[in-house]
Amino acid sequence: MPYTNKIITRLNSFFIEIGALSYFTGRFFKELFKRPFEFKEIMRQAYNMGNQSLLLVGITGFIIGLVLTLQTRPTLMEFGAVSWMPSMVGISIVREIGPIITALVCAGKIGSGIGAELGSMRVTEQIDAMEVSGTNPFKYLVVTRVLAITLMLPLLVIIGDAVALYGSYLVENVKGDVSFHLYFSQVFESLEFGDIIPATIKTFFFGLAIGLVGCFKGYYCEKGTVGVGVAANSAVVFTSLLLFIIDFIAVFVTDIFYDI
């Protein structure tokens, strides 16, 4: 019986948090179209997020391209289909691997940073001071950060995809003596707009989820300085789960359109 009560309590907490996040999201869209529009702050946040994440995204993408090609090449050689390597890697990275891996990297890097930053401002009463002074902290702190990561993530995904494909090309060049022109000609011949457009659109939703969850966890941080670490950690965990859910929905919807 105590175990059942514990499960019920956790479920209640989970659904309460989902409701609070939904309200937070609604407030974001409400504040989004209100003046003033903090363009300078949005650009500053976008630059900081992109600049801080670019190296990590590039290294991750490069290693993904290397590993994916090294792991897949022996299997394709057994079936005499090694010539399909550029097409297979290109479709895999652009459709799925590039967007979701880059989003997870940014969730760990940017999402936790937002949660910790806003959490620190909450426990040191900086957000309360902004409210007392008559400014709108939600508009300045939350809306700008969510918009910045929503705009930057698609660009980071494109860069990550390009670096991953280049890493794959290097393996093919060393192992199979494939030229740069031949490799990327096969990659682009295999890709269609139906591969690129859905993959790009869902990155905006990935960025929105990372920004909203990170800001939500930090903005309502509690329990003093200990809560800052909890906010940063829970932001990454919750965002990662949400990213997989969004990715599943995007793939499911895209598959329906393909069938039509």
pLDDT at 169 (0 to 100): 92
When pLDDT is cut at 50, 70 and 90, the band that residue 57 belongs to is: very high
Residue 1 pLDDT greater than 80, yes or no: no
pLDDT of residue 63: 94
Mean predicted lDDT score pLDDT of the chain: 87
The per-residue pLDDT for 146 is: 93
Neighbours of 241 (CB within 10 A): 13
The Cα–Cα gap between 171 and 73 comes to 9
pLDDT value of position 129:
85
Per-residue pLDDT tens digits for 169-184 = 999 888 888 888 988 9
pLDDT at 155: 94
Alpha-carbon torsion, ordered 15, 16, 17, 19, to 10 deg: 90
Q: pLDDT digit string (tens) for 87-106?
A: 888 999 998 899 999 999 99
Q: Which amino acid makes up residue 182?
A: L
The pLDDT of residue 12 is 82
pLDDT, residue 259, reads 61
Mean pLDDT to the nearest integer, 130-147: 85
Question: What mean pLDDT comes out for the span 47-74?
Answer: 91
In this model, does residue 3 exceed pLDDT 70?
Answer: no
Check if the beta carbon of residue 123 is closer than 8 Å to that of residue 195. Answer: no
Secondary structure of 13-26 in HEC code, one letter for each residue: HHHHHHHHHHHHHH
Say yes or no to pLDDT of 4 above 90: no
pLDDT at 168 over 80: yes
What's the pLDDT band for 255 if we cut at 50, 70, 90?
A: confident
pLDDT at site 260: 59
Q: Which residue has the higher pLDDT, 115 or 223?
A: 115
- Please provide the size of the chain in residues: 260
Amino acid type, 213: V
Nearby residues of 154 by Cβ (< 8 Å), 6 or more positions away: 200, 203, 204, 207
Mean pLDDT of 30-38: 83
The answer on pLDDT for 258 being more than 80 is: no
Tokens of 171: 């393996």
pLDDT digit string, tens, across residues 193-239: 878 888 899 999 999 999 999 999 888 887 777 778 888 888 888 89
